[in-house]
A and B are shown apart, each in its own frame.
Chain A
Amino acid sequence: METLGFLMEGFAVALTPYNLMFALFGAFVGTLIGCLPGLGPANGVAILIPLAFTLGLPPETAMILLTAVYAGAMYGGRISSILLNIPGDEPAMMTCLDGYPMARKGRAADALAVSAIASFSGGLIGTIGLIMLAPVLARFALTFGPAEYFALFLLAFATLGGITGKNPMKTVIAAALGIMISTVGIDISTGTQRYTFGVLELYEGIDFILAIVGLFAISELLFFVEHRMGEGREKMQVGKLSLSLKELVTTIPTQLRGGILGFISGVLPGAGASLGSFISYTLEKQVVGKKGRFGEGDIRGVVAPEAGNNGASSGALVPMLTLGVPGSGTTAVLLAMLISLNITPGPLMFTQNADIVWGVIAALLIGNVLLLVLNIPLVGFFVRLLSVPPMYLLPIVTMVAFVGIYSISHSTFDLYFMIAFGIAGYFLRKLEIPLVPIILGLLLGPEMEKNLGHALVLSDGDWSILWGSPLAIGLWTVAGLGLVLPYLVGPLLRRRMNAAIKESPVSD
Chain B
Amino acid sequence: MTGFGDRILGLGLLVLAVAYGWAAQQWPEPFGGAEGVGPETFPTILSVVLVAGSLYLMIKPDPDARWPVGKSALELLVSVLVLVVYALLLEPLGFVIATTLAVGTLSWRMGAAPKRAFLTGLGSAVVVFVLFNYGLSLSLPAGLLEVH
Partner-B contacts on A (CB < 8 A): 54-55, 166-167, 169-170, 172-173, 176-177, 179-180, 183, 187, 189-192, 194-195, 218, 221-222, 224-226, 228, 230-231, 389-392, 394-396, 398-400, 402-403, 406-407, 412, 415-416, 419, 422-423, 426, 430-433, 448-449, 452-453, 456-457, 459-461
Contact = CB atoms under 8 A, between A and B. Distances in A.
Given A54-B138, A177-B50, A457-B35, A183 B5 contact: no
B93 interface: no
Given A419-B87, A452-B37, A453-B37, A172 B9 contact: no
A222 B107 contact: no
Interface in B2-27: 5-6, 9, 13, 20, 23-24, 27
A391 B110 contact: yes
Contacts of A459: 36
Contact of A396 (B67, B80, B84, B124): B124
Contacts of B50: 173, 176-177, 180
A426 B68 CA distance: 12
A173 B110 contact: no
Interface string B75-102: 1100110011011101100010001001
Given A190-B30, A222-B79, A431-B9, 15 more contacts: A173-B53, A176-B50, A183-B43, A189-B39, A218-B83, A225-B109, A226-B75, A391-B107, A391-B117, A395-B103, A398-B103, A398-B106, A399-B102, A402-B86, A432-B65
A400 B6 CA distance: 33
Nearest to B86: A402
A415 B90 contact: yes
Given A412-B88, A456-B37, A228 B99 contact: no
Given A191-B30, A390-B110, A457 B36 contact: yes
Interface string B55-72: 011000010010110001
B94 to A, nearest CB: 13
A406 B9 CA distance: 31
Contacts of A183: 42-43, 46
Nearest to B111: A230
Contacts of B91: 412
User: Interface residue tally of chain B, by bracket?
Assistant: 35 or more
B49 A176 contact: yes
Interface of B: 5-6, 9, 13, 20, 23-24, 27-28, 30-31, 35-39, 41-43, 46, 49-50, 53-54, 56-57, 62, 65, 67-68, 72, 75-76, 79-80, 83-84, 86-88, 90-91, 95, 99, 102-103, 106-107, 109-112, 117, 120-121, 124-125, 128, 132, 136, 138, 140
A412 B90 CA distance: 8
B65 A228 contact: no
A431 B124 contact: no
B12 to A, nearest CB: 10
Nearest to A169: B56
B1 to A, nearest CB: 15
Contacts of B99: 399
B128 A399 contact: yes
B53 A172 contact: yes
A189 B35 CA distance: 11
